[in-house]
Amino acid sequence: QVQLVESGGGLVQPGGSLRLSCVASGRFFSAKAMGWYRQVPGKQRELVAHITIMGNTIYADSVKGRFTISRDNGKNTVYLQMNSLKAEDTAVYYCNSVPPAGNWGQGTQVTVSS
């Protein structure tokens, strides 16, 4: 069964940084493009960053230049470095393949507030 475990969220002031991590089960991770998604109450989950198996990256316009996605295939882990955080980045952040498959993890809450 696929498992996705996100961590690293928290409360941060505007302009601050956080680094999210997601560990995925081996068979799921190794052959898939991976992405970070976020969701706020009342809105659909949106893909904010995407990394291919070969390491090519794509970002939503709203985070381009501030967020960096990376992956460590040996550790079955995908990361999201978030800099210059804004209040509108507040959301629950999830990782999954692109397109998403299997069950979602519990997510990690990111709150940007002064």
Distance CA 96, CA 47 (A): 10
Environment class of 55 (CB within 10 Å of its CB; exposed 0-12, middle 13-18, buried 19+): exposed
51-109 tens-digit pLDDT: 999 999 999 999 999 999 999 988 999 999 999 999 999 999 999 999 998 789 999 99
52 or 29, which is more confident: 52
Strand order in the sheet with 77-82: 4-7, 18-24, 77-82, 67-72
Supply angle C-alpha 10, 96, 84, rounded to 5: 40
